[in-house]
């Protein structure tokens, strides 16, 4: 049975470390980790999760854009597990959008992100994949990819005036 993993929060050094490549073929600890990360992500209604957020300093992330309470306008996509992802291209066109993070509870921020990205990654079968993402899925990827570099969305806001608590964010979006 997969288990719910504890989420590392802002201040824990694991969120600031460079991550390690995952060797192939995959071994059981990584297979269990992926199962548990998928389980955890679905349980907490998140749209993405990166290994450092569950105290593992490896190059592994999951993107799972889907509409939920926090992101009612998100497109629905089946989740993608990316092992050793590499950002190959970022569009110069950017867009500002609200982000939050399980590792930074209670806080939201307006973050500029590229509208389009091209990504290389290895899947769980060991196959290399090349995909392009746009809009919200591209934003989710860039947020999770930052985690693998020890970066958080609060490092990307243009100014601290672009930060809000969850309570004030809800007040703002509900007008
Ligand atoms: Ni995050």
Contacts by residues 123-127 (CB-CB < 8 Å, ≥ 24 positions apart): 123/81, 123/82, 123/83, 124/26, 124/31, 124/34, 124/81, 124/83, 126/24, 126/25, 126/26
| Surface-to-core class of residue 39, CB atoms within 10 Å of its CB (0-12 exposed, 13-18 middle, 19+ buried) | middle
Which token pair is 6? 């504890």
Compute the distance from residue 42 Cα to the ligand 1 centre, in Å. Answer: 14
The answer to whether 53 and 16 have CB atoms below 8 angstroms apart is: no
What pLDDT digit, counting tens, does each position of 143-159 carry?
A: 999 999 999 999 999 99
Q: What is the pLDDT of residue 99?
A: 95
Q: Where residue 70 falls among pLDDT bands split at 50, 70, 90?
A: low
Reported pTM: 0.94
Which token pair is 57? 């300093």
Query: What percent of the chain has a predicted confidence (pLDDT) above 90?
Result: 87
Compute the distance from residue 1 Cα to the ligand 1 centre, in Å. Answer: 25
Query: How many CB atoms sit inside 10 A of residue 40's CB?
Result: 21
What pLDDT digit, counting tens, does each position of 19-59 carry?
A: 999 999 999 999 999 999 999 999 998 999 999 999 999 99
What pLDDT digit, counting tens, does each position of 76-96 carry?
A: 888 999 999 999 999 999 999
Compute the distance from residue 154 Cα to the ligand 1 centre, in Å. Answer: 10
Q: What is the pLDDT of residue 125?
A: 95
What pLDDT digit, counting tens, does each position of 92-111 carry?
A: 999 999 999 999 999 999 99
């Amino acid at each position: 049975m997969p288990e719910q993993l504890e989420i590392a929060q802002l201040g824990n050094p694991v969120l600031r470390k460079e991550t390690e490549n995952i060797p192939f073929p995959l071994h059981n600890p990584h297979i269990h980790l992926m199962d548990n990360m998928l389980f955890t992500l679905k349980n907490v209604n998140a749209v993405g999760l990166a290994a450092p957020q569950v105290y593992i300093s490896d190059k592994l992330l999951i993107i799972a854009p889907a509409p939920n309470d926090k992101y009612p306008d998100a497109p629905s996509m089946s989740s993608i597990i990316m092992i050793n992802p590499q950002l190959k291209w970022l569009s110069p066109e950017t867009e500002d959008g609200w982000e939050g993070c399980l590792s930074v509870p209670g806080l939201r921020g307006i973050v500029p992100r590229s509208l389009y990205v091209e990504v290389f990654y290895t899947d769980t079968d060991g196959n290399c994949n090349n995909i392009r993402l746009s809009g919200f899925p591209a934003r989710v990827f860039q947020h999770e990819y930052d985690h693998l570099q020890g970066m958080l969305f609060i490092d990307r806001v243009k100014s601290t005036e672009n930060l809000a608590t969850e309570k004030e964010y809800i007040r703002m979006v509900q007008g």
